Amino acid sequence: MMTNNIVDLDLYRPGIRGNALCLQCDNRWSAFAPFGTVELECSQCGTWKGVFEGMTAPDTVWECSCGNQHFYISDTGAMCAKCGLHQEVFR
């Protein structure tokens, strides 16, 4: 008689596990990623615009007019990761 003892190795790997959100299609899923992962592949649309939700919770959150709260920051300002709108307030 054979028993099925399947072990989920992700449970023993160092990394981040939590709720993820796709900035492209708004899909939400449970994700795991090794430490240092910057973006996640969306389980629905396949783009690399997935981020973990709730990793930080500052007192004030900047939100783009499209409703997104995730931005790419550079020396020229901030760009919305969802719609690409440049945020002038950060200059």
Question: Is 71 a member of any domain?
Answer: yes
State whether 17 and 30 are in the same domain: yes
Return the CATH number at 44. 2.20.28
Domain encompassing residue 76: 59-91
Dist CA 33 CA 76 (whole Å): 30
Question: Is 84 a member of any domain?
Answer: yes
State whether 43 and 80 are in the same domain: no
> Which whole-number Å values give the CA distances from 84 to 5, 52, 78, in the listed order?
47, 19, 9
Q: How does 14-36 read in b/e, with b if 16+ C-beta sit within 10 Å?
A: eeeeeebbbbbeebeeebebeee
CB 71 within 8 A of CB 58: no
pLDDT in tens, 22-81: 999 999 999 888 877 888 999 999 999 999 887 544 445 678 889 888 888 888 888 899
Of residues 12 and 81, more confidently modeled: 81
pLDDT of residue 90 exceeding 90, the answer is: no
State whether 13 and 39 are in the same domain: yes
- CB count within 10 Å of CB 58 equals 6
Phi, psi of 52 (to 5 degrees): -75, 140
Global confidence as pTM: 0.52
